[in-house]
Amino acid sequence: MSEPGGAPASAASQRAAEERRDALRALLREPFVAPPDPAFRPVRRHETVLARLATDLLGYRLEVTPGFARLLKRPTAAGLRRPLRIPPGTPSGRARPRDEWPALDRRRATLLLLTAAALERRPGAQVAVGDLVRGVAEAGARCEPPLALDFDRRAERIAFADALDLLCHWGVLRVDDGSRASFSRSEQGEDEALFSIDRKRLSSVLRDSARALAANSVDDLLDESAEYAPTDEGRARRLRHRLARRLAEDPVLYADELDEEERSYFNRQRGYLEDRVAAATGLIPERRAEGTACIERDRWLTDLPFPARSARKQAALLLCEELARRLAASEPELASAELRAWMRRLLVRHGDSLGRSPDDPAEVDELLGSALEILVGIGAAAHGDAGGVRALPLCARFRDPALRVPAEAA
């Protein structure tokens, strides 16, 4: 049997499967996939199959409109520990690895939410940045307790500009007139920015505002118990979704981090889950006694590429050698003083390559902090007591590293 045009059915089926895989990867990578993105047409073409796959495997809902496609996701516990990144405004900035983009810190996150609230309340399809500033200040004043915003402070205006950059990247806002420089000014000028508001994207970002208003904590926002039937089948679906999300979206799934019910289900269904996630996403499962890491060979579907040729990632890679040695000796805990001494010894050997001086305590601490942030982010280490860390099994994957001189220190 042949498809129209003479292509064998098996070849056509393979192409369709590859299209669905690439489309799902794009949906997992970006909050919105829009028509300019090459993945948008495959998403529309395979919408029914992708929606069923996302719901059955991950428990996610696929939203598709003529203007965008969006996978309505829930963050994993490890995902909550990794900051949301703000794409820089320049092409050269966006070309840098995602983990080098500015992080959405607490203040920027607050301004982002207040901006979304101000946009939701504002009528019309456009807004000037000066009017938006006043709307954000009013939204802050309506909070309980009220949030004081001081747009006379340059740091506040820059944080606000970063929040606007993120909304522009998502397509919620579009700059129609004026300059980006006006984002960070409190006084209106001739180049004051004028935005168009995409109401459909805004409502997708604020998809459950009633629940958000009723929430008292992040746990309230993440609670999904009401979405599953209180039956054996409902519990099994919930476990399958939670474990598949961790395989697809976290650097590593450790069995000892699962609760008893999750671990029992994972042990029974491990091969099935790994195979399905691999087929759907193109990730390659690496199974160990301690758990599973799904590897992304081309690094496209990752927010923390590692190893890499920046100084902080080279330092993190070299630190894995000591972590793996301590783990093999059943002494996984390293105190902060031990870590500083180890980092100083690394800089004595490799300081020229890493661009740091072993005799400068501030540079030692800065590089150590950056390296540990990376290792905790990928699941190779965990924070311990009093500034120390605990080595985790993934660090052994990077034992015996060879240092390559980075193109430039980072």
| Res 258: pLDDT | 95
| Res 406: pLDDT | 47
Q: How far apart are CA 138 and CA 146, in angstroms?
A: 10
| Res 2: pLDDT | 47
Q: Which of 91-100, 154-163, 259-268 has the lowest mean pLDDT?
A: 91-100
Whether the CB-CB separation of 130 and 194 falls below 8 Å is answered with no
| Res 65: pLDDT | 96
DSSP string, 283-312: -EEEEETTEEEEE-TTSTT-SS--S-SSHH
| Whether residue 355 sits in one domain with residue 390 | yes
The residue with tokens 């810190």 is 105
- Residue 37: half-sphere exposure toward Cβ, Cα within 13 Å: 24
Identify the domain boundary among 48, 74, 100.
Answer: 74
Q: How far apart are CA 96 and CA 87, in angstroms?
A: 10
| Whether residue 169 sits in one domain with residue 128 | yes
Q: How far apart are CA 151 and CA 155, in angstroms?
A: 8
pLDDT at 222 over 90: no
Q: Residue 312 contacts by C-beta under 8 Å, 6 or more apart in sequence?
A: 367, 370, 371, 374, 410
Residue at 409 is within a domain: no
Tell me if residue 400 falls in helix, strand or coil.
Answer: coil
Burial 187-222 (b: 16+ CB within 10 A, else e): eeeeebbbbebbeebbebbeeeeeeeeeeeeeeeee
Q: pLDDT of 392-404, one tens digit each?
A: 999 999 887 665 5
| Res 410: pLDDT | 45
- The CATH number linked to 361 is 1.10.10
Residue at 217 is within a domain: no
| Whether residue 96 sits in one domain with residue 68 | no
| Whether residue 175 sits in one domain with residue 100 | yes
| Whether residue 267 sits in one domain with residue 197 | no
Polymer length of the chain: 410
Q: How far apart are CA 136 and CA 134, in angstroms?
A: 5
Q: pLDDT of 64-100, one tens digit each?
A: 999 999 999 988 888 888 888 998 877 888 888 888 8
Q: pLDDT of 362-372, one tens digit each?
A: 999 999 999 99
pLDDT at 243 over 90: yes
| Whether residue 100 sits in one domain with residue 44 | no
| Res 186: pLDDT | 47
Residue at 356 is within a domain: yes
Residue type at position 42? P
Q: How far apart are CA 87 and CA 30, in angstroms?
A: 12
pLDDT at 265 over 60: yes
Q: How far apart are CA 295 and CA 297, in angstroms?
A: 6
Residue at 319 is within a domain: yes
pLDDT at 283 over 50: yes
| Whether residue 234 sits in one domain with residue 286 | yes
Q: How far apart are CA 52 and CA 242, in angstroms?
A: 17
Bridge partners (DSSP) listed for residue 333 = 390
Give the CA distances from residue 301 to residues 22, 28, 152, 281, 297, in Å, rounded to whole numbers and listed in that order: 10, 8, 40, 9, 9
| Res 203: pLDDT | 92
- pLDDT bin (cut points 50, 70, 90) of residue 409 is very low
Q: How far apart are CA 352 and CA 356, in angstroms?
A: 7
Residue at 2 is within a domain: no
| Whether residue 333 sits in one domain with residue 283 | no
Indicate the helix (H) or strand (E) that contains 390: strand 389-391
Q: pLDDT of 291-329, one tens digit each?
A: 999 999 888 998 888 988 889 999 999 999 889 999 999
| Whether residue 65 sits in one domain with residue 97 | no
> Region 134-140: what's the mean pLDDT?
93
| Whether residue 335 sits in one domain with residue 250 | no
| Whether residue 233 sits in one domain with residue 199 | no
Whether the CB-CB separation of 397 and 375 falls below 8 Å is answered with no
Q: How far apart are CA 374 and CA 78, in angstroms?
A: 13
Provide the domain count of the chain: 4
Q: Which of 83-92, 200-209, 212-221, 227-236 has the lowest mean pLDDT?
A: 212-221
What domain range includes position 288?
Answer: 227-295
> Region 176-186: what's the mean pLDDT?
68
| Res 392: pLDDT | 96
Residue at 80 is within a domain: no
Return mean pLDDT, the chain.
88
Residue at 219 is within a domain: no
The whole-angstrom distance between residue 58's C-alpha and the CA centroid of its chain comes to 16
Q: How far apart are CA 177 and CA 37, in angstroms?
A: 24
Query: For residue 282, which phi and psi values (nearest 5 degrees)?
Result: 80, 0
pTM equals 0.87
